[in-house]
Amino acid sequence: IRGYSTLSESMSPEQNFKFLNAYLKRIGPIIKSHNGFINQFMGDGIMALFQHSADDALLASIEIKKAVTIYNTNRKTKGRAPLIVGIGIHSGPLTMGIIGDEERMDAGVVSDTVNISSRMEGLTKHFRASVVVSHDTLLRLSGKNKFNYRALGKVQVKGRNQAFKVYEFYDGDSEKSILLKQETITDFNQGLQLYFGQDFTQAATYFNKVLETIPEDEAAKIYLKHCAENMVRGVSDDWTGVEMMFRK
């Protein structure tokens, strides 16, 4: 949940519990219905595991987004601020076991997969995207052509030496948002291709075209800014275009 600290400041501890439980009772069953299970509750966030297929995780994320939209309609009638959620998905091996001591034990997972999943979720804040998916997950999707998505480039996240290709999946967004992103996806992709080819002047024209249609498109804004900076400062011989993310 984005901005949870601000939301919680206006609520008592009891109201906070009621708020979180009202939210979780809407999304918990969605995860279960897509063959997943919640491994951990973390206040304003959750960690869910899907052991059968990446498609299950993605379908659950889309349905969660739609459920939050309906919930926000409810909240609006009561004069409450809408919720914004970000979901990150990554695929890979992990080990589940018992963690703790003789006095307190709990089931937990240990894996780099979990850490990268957390970084994918963090990227939803950076790009202001609803769902960010790693390339590893994209490769595991059995029906990726059934979804609406676009590449967001390559990022290197905190604590990792390897860069990742990441993607935004937006089927859970509003119908208007989906249509606009589909309308501009050719220009956005062309802009990315030119950007990584170091043709920043031409890349900027395509990102500008995207912003003419979707002024709030954060990804296009980010790359347009990078184009301007690179045109002024130039780039080194070993420039790769990887977005460096030093914050979670």
Q: Which of 191, 226, 225 is nearest to 210 (CA)?
A: 191
Q: Which of 11, 93, 80 is nearest to 44 (CA)?
A: 11
Q: In this structure, are residues 132 and 155 in contact, taking their beta carbons and an 8 Å threshold? A: no
| Amino acid found at 42 | M
Q: Which of 139, 130, 97, 129 is nearest to 114 (CA)?
A: 97
Q: Is the pTM of this model over 0.85?
A: yes
Angle, helices 200-213 vs 175-196, to 10°: value is 170
Q: Report the pLDDT value the prediction gives residue 41, as an integer from 0 to 100.
A: 86
Decide: residue 235, CB within 10 A, 0-12 exposed, 13-18 middle, 19+ buried.
middle
Q: Report the pLDDT value the prediction gives residue 79, as an integer from 0 to 100.
A: 85
Q: Report the pLDDT value the prediction gives residue 6, as an integer from 0 to 100.
A: 81
Q: Report the pLDDT value the prediction gives residue 162, as an integer from 0 to 100.
A: 82
Q: Which of 93, 13, 1 is nearest to 42 (CA)?
A: 1
pLDDT along the chain (248 residues), means of 10: 83 88 92 92 89 95 94 88 92 86 81 88 93 95 91 85 91 94 97 96 97 97 96 91 74
Q: Report the pLDDT value the prediction gives residue 247, as an integer from 0 to 100.
A: 62
Q: Report the pLDDT value the prediction gives residue 246, as an integer from 0 to 100.
A: 58
Within 8 A by CB and 6+ apart from 149, the residues are 133, 138, 167, 168, 169, 170
DSSP-derived secondary structure for 109-151: EE-HHHHHHHHHHHHHHHHT-SEEEEHHHHHH-S-GGGS-EEE
Q: In this structure, are residues 87 and 2 in contact, taking their beta carbons and an 8 Å threshold? A: no
| Amino acid found at 176 | K
